[in-house]
Amino acid sequence: MTQVDFYLLPGEQRQQLMHFACRLADKAYRLGHRVYIHTESAEQTRQLDELLWTFQQDSFVPHAVFTETAESPPPVQLGHDAEPDASHQVLINLATEVPLFFSRFERVAELVNAEESVRHHSRERYSFYKARGYPLRTHELSK
């Protein structure tokens, strides 16, 4: 069964969520996992694609925007309107809704900051997972 982790970040900056998504993808990639980052929009996908190249000075996260036709996709892919194949193990969700395909993943990471609208949507996602019996963990992060 899919393990769902909620990461509660301090502060209200949306950029903070993007940076944490990059750090989490980097960590999962270094542990040998295939990662799919589900974004809210094409614009957020583009921003995240750029940020993955620059979020840390000495880091390299092999990534690409998801396409169904990629012959040998990199270990980290991102997208907002595509349903990834079953080869990914970790889903990082930056969207306000629970992606319909979440249950194919071993792990789901839900990122939440202190912005009220983000908290509101995260409570809805938490209730969704809980009502369906998925194991939930919450991690409160400090600056």
Contact 90, 77 (CB under 8 A): no
- Banded model confidence at residue 87, pLDDT cuts 50, 70, 90: confident
Direct distance between the N- and C-terminal alpha carbons of the chain, in angstroms, rounded to an integer: 31
Q: How far apart are CA 61 and CA 70, in angstroms?
A: 17
Q: Which domains, ranges and CATH numbers included, belong to the chain?
A: 10-66+74-136 (3.40.50.10110)
| One-letter-per-residue 3-state SS of 47-102 | HHHHHHHHCCCCCCCCEEECCCCCCCCCCEEEECCCCCCCCCCEEEECCCCCCCCH
pTM exceeds cut of 0.85: yes
The fraction of the chain above a pLDDT of 90, given in percent, is 84
pLDDT tens for each residue of 45-69: 999 999 999 998 887 899 999 987 6
b/e per residue 88-110 (b: at least 16 CB within 10 A): bbbbbbbbeebbebbebbebbbb
Q: Tell me the longest C-alpha to C-alpha distance in the chain.
A: 42
Q: Which tokens belong to 125?
A: 């996602």
Task: Tell me the per-residue pLDDT of 7-27, one tens digit each, with 9 for 90 and over.
Answer: 999 999 989 999 999 999 999
